Structure 1
Amino acid sequence: MSSGAVRPATYFHVHLVSDSTGETLNSMAKAVIARFDGVIPIEHIYALVRSERQLERVLEEIAAAPGVVLHTLVDRDLRTALEEGCRQLDMPQIGALDPLVGALSRYLGTAISSRVGAQHALDHDYFNRIGALDFAIAHDDGQGHGELGQADVILVGVSRTSKTPTCIYLANRGVRAGNIPLVPGHDPSERLAALNGPLVVGLLVSPDRLIQIRRNRLTGLGAGDDSDYVDLDAVRDETIRARRLFERHGWPTIDVTRRSVEETAAAVINLLNDRRGRAMGTPT
């Protein structure tokens, strides 16, 4: 193979065995595999594996497609059976949460719970996330004027700065988030000044990147791109006015030009934590 040749992708089977929904295991596997270039997994997901018969079928499928086995089984007998089955198949198996759970158990001096699917119990946190999601939907794009004061955070920015998806992501972390768009000719300052509780965060973006996103949006809608919505001078003026508004009110800002929604949400959560730390008089 020449030095300039493209290395062919490496395919491999990865078996994800969980006694719950498998969401945690799937997310962990994707995060780890993303660290390897040119590697494409063929995923086999086995969720809600809670009986010997289910595990037997899983082992049959593993034997038919040799690869790597990742699991988050809690039941000791099922876990032992899976480990023994993989040993007989000469196949690597990894308890994905073992290092973290073991370290925490040693640090806390507390025994590990054997309750299956404990992280998905319908507890207070679960209902809090559902409530936050309802709030984000009801207060998207400036809606729900009378209840915005109940938000943890309000995102403010020009059109196409990922306000809505960021609010939805925050809701899944239990954060009540609303958003208000900055529309030319409309100043939301008075409306926001009347709200004492929420943290207001301004979202910044470079004009070039914003035009690119907006053009893609218009293309998807089958619309033309000859309006001020994608005009360079108009967009520059729009972003400058947004920046000046944020500076005038002293609102913290996040530049979303090259950030993913997850990264923007993480930055918002950090701002919220800093604010709560100051309110409690603790160092941040």
Structure 2
Amino acid sequence: MVEKAIPIIYVASDSAGDTGEAVVHAAAVQFYPHLVDVHITSFLEDHEGIDKLIQMAKAQDGIIVFTLVIPELRDYLIQQAILHQLVHIDLLGPILSGLEQKMQQPSRHQPGMIHLLDEGYFKKVEAVEFAVKYDDGRDYNGVLQADIVLVGVSRTSKTPLSMYLAHKKFKVANVPLVPEIQPPEQLFTVSNKKIIGLRIDPDKLNMIRTERLKMLGLPRTATYANVERINVELEYADRIMKRIGCTVIDVSNKAVEETAGLIMEWYRNR
């Protein structure tokens, strides 16, 4: 049986290319476990750059996905892609045209505006710094200042969730729940409406912790991944969450993005 060649996708942008790359990966995951090879061509600014891109894509029978906001460059890329019979996908053009028509005004046609150093950007930076400072219960004062507080046992994605939500401009503190360590009083003095408990299936947690031990070069028999120990931790965490009276989300089979989406929806609807 002949193996399928891995498709090559060239993401072209007159800025950094982050938007196109994110969209391509979001689409490509729908074909898992089949893979795609993504190449980023960023900061395109002239015909010469587009000609080189066309040559590479033609040589590899690749697909060109582009987010060009400068009309002259966009039109030239489309013209050349059609001429060389290349599959090409314009991500921003139809959206910009629709908005221009609806708003009855032309767009700025200015690359890189998504990265402007505006108030939102600085809020994001502040939120990321907050998440780092108050990660894993380093300073319990973060519980008082946070927009969202995450609690749960080790390996329930508290840190990845904190960082993901920080990039959405939420100040997040997270506190590990460990039977041998008294939970901070701050958890019981702040409003439980800003606390989220993270619950996980014991078998799933055992698998995650076993993999973690393997990565660290430690034996699978370590207490960290012991089934009895895991059950003790989870029962303890459940008791603390009930005492707090907080909302609880089961993260057993959820990606970080999915759990974060639920948390943001919960935050908006509080």
CA displacement, residues 96-142 of structure 1 (integer Å, 9 cap, x when unaligned) = 13344444445555533311111111111111111111111100110
1:121-160 aligned within 5 A: 121-160=116-155
Distance 1:41 1:219, change over 3 A: closer
Supply the AA of the counterpart residue of 2:16: T
Matched, 1:87 2:82: yes
Cα distance change of structure 1 residues 92 and 222 upon mapping to structure 2, 3 Å threshold: closer
Q: Which whole-Å deviations, capped at 9, do the CAs of 1:215-243 have from their partners, x for residues lacking one?
A: 22222222234454323223212212212
Q: What SS does structure 1 have at the residue aligned with 2:208?
A: helix
Residue of structure 2 in register with 1:209 after alignment: 204
**Deviation (angstroms), 1:180:** 0.3
Q: What SS class does the counterpart of residue 36 from structure 2 fall into?
A: strand
Distance, in Å, in 2 between the alignment partners of 1:108 and 1:144 is 48
Instruction: Provide TM-score, normalisation by structure 2.
Output: 0.90
Indicate whether 1:182 and 2:182 are aligned: no
TM superposition score normalised by structure 1: 0.86
Distance in 2 between the 1:44 and 1:183 partners? 44
- Asked if 1:29 is matched to 2:4, the reply is no
The Cα offsets for residues 80-107 of structure 1, whole Å up to 9 and x where unpaired, read as 1111111211112221133444444455
Distance 1:229 1:237 in 2: 11
Tell me which of 42, 45, 54 is aligned to 1:50: 45
CA distance in structure 1 between the partners assigned to 2:112 and 2:40 by the alignment: 16
Deviation per residue, 1:64-89 (Å, 9 max, x gap): 33322111111111111111111211
CA distance in 2, matches of 1:189, 1:219: 31
- Map 1:195-274; keep pairs closer than 5 Å: 195-196=190-191, 199-274=194-269
SS of the residue aligned with 1:35? helix
For 1:24, what is the secondary structure of its paired residue? helix
Distance 2:236 2:227 in 1: 14
Whether the 8 Å CA contact 2:130–2:172 is kept in 1: the answer is yes
Q: Which residue of 1 aligns with 2:55?
A: 60
CA contact (8 A) 2:149 2:173 kept: yes
1: CA distance between counterparts of 2:47 and 2:257? 38
SS class of match (1:186):
coil
- Seen in structure 2, the aligned counterparts of structure 1 residues 137 and 198 have a Cα distance that, compared at 3 Å, is farther
The letter of the residue matching 1:157 is G
Q: Does the alignment pair 1:192 with 2:160?
A: no
CA distance in 2, matches of 1:265, 1:136: 14
| Structure 1 position 173, deviation (Å) | 1.3
Q: CA deviation at 1:246?
A: 1.4
**Contact 2:251–2:259, Cα closer than 8 Å, also in 1:** yes
Structure 1: runs of 5 or more not aligned: 2-6, 276-284
Question: Displacement of 1:258 after TM fit?
Answer: 0.8
**Structure 2 Cα separation of the partners of residues 214 and 189 of structure 1:** 25
Alignment CA distance shift 1:197-1:49 (3 Å):
farther
Q: How far apart are 1:269 and its partner, in Å?
A: 1.0
Contact 1:9 1:39 in 2 (8 A): no
Percent identity between matched residues is 31
Cα distance change on mapping 1:105 and 1:188 into 2, 3 Å: farther
Separation in 2, partners of 1:138, 1:219? 28
| SS of aligned partner of 2:225 | coil
Q: For the residues of structure 2 that align with 1:103 and 1:197, how far apart are their CA atoms?
A: 44
Matched-pair contact (CA < 8 Å) for 1:149–1:196: no
What amino acid is the match of 2:186?
R
Cα distance in structure 2, aligned partners of 1:107 and 1:250: 47
What is the number of equivalent residue pairs in this alignment?
A: 270
